[in-house]
Amino acid sequence: GQQLNQSPQSMFIQEGEDVSMNCTSSSIFNTWLWYKQDPGEGPVLLIALYKAGELTSNGRLTAQFGITRKDSFLNISASIPSDVGIYFCAGRVQGAQKLVFGQGTRLTINP
């Protein structure tokens, strides 16, 4: 079945730093989505990508759909304390609605 490898597993940064994380897949995906999950809550959708090469921003967040369609990247600029949480990538193959999730990247910000 499809597998997503998300890296890094965890990040410890200073407030104000930029953050980069990525996901790679063994399969070609038609859709990539990035979610953020806080403790005790469900994932919240950050960015959705639908075309290879697409670059989409949501405030300080920017995500890209890799041209091979097997990877995606998320960047967070000028991190702030509320960015703390777990970030998940999720991919979807053609014709299917179910999402395959990565293992998550846990972001911790040192004050």
Partner 1 sequence: DAGVTQSPTHLIKTRGQHVTLRCSPISGHKSVSWYQQVLGQGPQFIFQYYEKEERGRGNFPDRFSARQFPNYSSELNVNALLLGDSALYLCASSLVGGAGEKLFFGSGTQLSVL
In this chain, which stretch among 13-21, 62-70, 76-84, 96-104 interacts with partner 1, using CB under 8 A?
96-104
**Does residue 49 touch partner 1 according to CB under 8 A?**
no
Taking the complex as a whole, the smallest distance from the CB of residue 31 to partner 1 amounts, in Å, to 6
Nearer to partner 1, 98 or 111 (CB): 98
Q: What residues pair up with 36 in beta bridges, in sequence order?
A: 44, 87
Taking the complex as a whole, the smallest distance from the CB of residue 81 to partner 1 amounts, in Å, to 22
**Does residue 80 touch partner 1 according to CB under 8 A?**
no
Q: Is the dihedral of CA 20, 23, 101, 64 positive or negative?
A: positive
**Does residue 39 touch partner 1 according to CB under 8 A?**
no
**Does residue 101 touch partner 1 according to CB under 8 A?**
yes
Q: Rounded CA gap, 100 and 18, in Å?
A: 26
Q: Which of 33, 61, 63, 107 binds partner 1 (CB under 8 A)?
A: 33
